[in-house]
Amino acid sequence: MAEVKTDLMTLNMGPVHPSTHGVIRFVLQTDGEIIHRCVPDIGYLHRSIEKIAENLEYYQFMPFTDRVDYVAAINANLGWAVAVERFGGIEVPERGEWLRIISAELVRIGSHLVAVGSNSGDMGAVTPFLHALREREVTNDLIEELCGARLTHNYIRIGGVSFDAPTGWIDKCKRFLDNFEPALDEFDRLLTFNKIFRHRLGNVAVITERDAKDFGLVGPNLRGSGVRWDCRKDDTYGLYPEMKFEVPVGEGLMGTVGDCWDRFWLRIQEMRQSVHIIRQALDRLEAATGSVWNEKRVIKLPEGEYYVRTESARGEMGYYIVSDGGKLPVRVKIRTGSFSAMSIIEKLARGVMIADLVAIIASLDIVAPEIDR
């Protein structure tokens, strides 16, 4: 029988697609279901935020950091504020620090809920997505009471936070946390240990520790491969040293260490740790008094280059500021976790099926604004 001449099919998983998390495009070369090559194409959401930073003073740039990662905006705000304060020599009052920690962890919970929910929605289980969003609504409401916005918060200021917690807010937070932990357990029962789910995600796209470090992965992607490294503990900032929490790492419970299931499970564990942190911070907030913002009208960083890292929902977010001593920065570079995660997809996607590619993108928790800035 003669050899049947077959060709590779070029598919375009275009910028508009139900399961790419934002506007990113993949050009796939497949042989039926198996992918031979997957080339990501980014830049659809490039808003030149780094160029804009060169024309704005340090405190004016804060709303733009929201847009760098609009799913977890307070974490991006916090990174910028910590970067400027550390080398600008600006102190933050204690109450401001506690509010920073609480709001950052609440937003981290919200972001992980979206990540976990959309991961399950991409796998076909739509219900946990809606349950996750139901919980996220409560965090959105809490943050809205605090700063007025649900998505692009612009809450952190250089030298503190913008608004103090209204009366009754702390109790609302505590009530949310009490309701949230059973909801996470329900999520686990419904989805995490479901056999079909385990088979979809287990042993898919295993990222070894060496690959993770080589490609610059950070955050849950790095911890999923077994590297116990968290900016809040290892390159700490604010009052995080006073918080007691653990850093979970992927253990390969349902497959190999570093597969998609590990990253999924890891995000759920991180949510539990965030709840723990918020509880401690709420108690400390009740005891702290004073203002929340040490306002400085003129902020100048001394001449030089500074690279400061904080732990955002998607991993280490680094702000590299080059200053010439004046009021405007010379260059701001924002290092995000999603950019590195995108760069490893080409390597991971060789030889997997299209359905697995969706699992990979979902488990790496990629948001488009972080990639393109």
- Which residue, 83 or 243, is less far from other proteins as judged by CB? 83
Interacting span for other proteins (CB under 8 A) from 61-69, 73-81, 197-205, 261-269: 197-205
Shortest approach of other proteins to residue 21 CB, angstroms?
11
Strand-pair partners of 356: none
Angle of the 337-348 helix axis to the 354-363 helix axis, nearest 10: 160
Distances in whole angstroms, Cα of residue 137 to Cα of each of 109, 111, 150, 167, 230 = 11, 11, 9, 20, 27
- Which residue, 283 or 346, is less far from other proteins as judged by CB? 346
Residue 359 to residue 55: CA distance in whole angstroms: 40
Q: Which position among 305, 325, 326, 350 is part of the footprint of other proteins (CB under 8 A)?
A: 305
Residue 328, interface with other proteins (CB under 8 A)? Answer: no
Residue 307, interface with other proteins (CB under 8 A)? Answer: yes
Residue 132, interface with other proteins (CB under 8 A)? Answer: no
Residue 192 to residue 364: CA distance in whole angstroms: 16
Residue 199, interface with other proteins (CB under 8 A)? Answer: yes
Shortest approach of other proteins to residue 166 CB, angstroms?
27
- Which residue, 158 or 301, is less far from other proteins as judged by CB? 301
- Which residue, 174 or 333, is less far from other proteins as judged by CB? 333
> Would strands 34-41 and 304-312 be described as parallel, antiparallel, or unpaired?
unpaired
Q: How many residues bind other proteins (CB under 8 A)?
A: 66
- The mark string for 333-372 relative to other proteins (x by CB under 8 A, - otherwise) is x-x---xx-xx---x-----xxxx-x-------------x
Q: Which position among 97, 259, 316, 365 is part of the footprint of other proteins (CB under 8 A)?
A: 316
Give the up-direction half-sphere exposure of residue 127: CA atoms within 13 A in the CB hemisphere. Answer: 7
Residue 42, interface with other proteins (CB under 8 A)? Answer: yes
Among candidates 23, 22, 230, 195, which has minimal Cα distance to 114?
A: 22
Residue 58 to residue 62: CA distance in whole angstroms: 7
Residue 188, interface with other proteins (CB under 8 A)? Answer: no
- The residue assigned the tokens 């969003």 is 133
Pair 280, 244: CB distance under 8 Å: yes
- Which residue, 288 or 353, is less far from other proteins as judged by CB? 353
Quick one: residue 14, left, alpha or beta (phi over 0 = left, psi -120 to 50 = alpha)?
beta
Pair 68, 334: CB distance under 8 Å: yes
- Which residue, 169 or 229, is less far from other proteins as judged by CB? 229
Q: Which helix (H) or strand (E) holds 27?
A: strand 25-31
Q: Which position among 61, 176, 215, 237 is part of the footprint of other proteins (CB under 8 A)?
A: 215
Interacting span for other proteins (CB under 8 A) from 55-63, 101-109, 228-236, 271-279: 228-236
Q: Which helix (H) or strand (E) holds 144?
A: helix 126-147
Interacting span for other proteins (CB under 8 A) from 13-21, 60-68, 149-157, 262-270: 13-21
Among candidates 329, 319, 333, 323, which has minimal Cα distance to 302?
A: 323
For 47-73, the DSSP string reads --HHHHHTTS-TGGGHHHHHHHSTTSH
Shortest approach of other proteins to residue 312 CB, angstroms?
14
Residue 130, interface with other proteins (CB under 8 A)? Answer: yes
Q: Which position among 9, 175, 179, 241 is part of the footprint of other proteins (CB under 8 A)?
A: 9
Shortest approach of other proteins to residue 310 CB, angstroms?
13
Query: Could you report how far apart the first and last alpha carbons of the chain are, in Å?
Result: 54
In the region spanning residues 270 to 289, those forming contacts with other proteins, defined by CB under 8 A, are none
> Would strands 25-31 and 34-41 be described as parallel, antiparallel, or unpaired?
antiparallel
Shortest approach of other proteins to residue 78 CB, angstroms?
18
Strand-pair partners of 331: 322
Distances in whole angstroms, Cα of residue 130 to Cα of each of 133, 136, 193, 225 = 5, 10, 18, 28
Q: Where do contacts with other proteins occur on this chain (CB under 8 A)?
A: 9, 11, 17-19, 32-33, 42-43, 46, 48, 50-51, 87, 120-127, 130-131, 134, 190-191, 194, 196-197, 199-200, 213-216, 218, 227, 229, 234-235, 302, 304-307, 309, 316, 318, 320, 322, 330-331, 333, 335, 339-340, 342-343, 347, 353-356, 358, 372
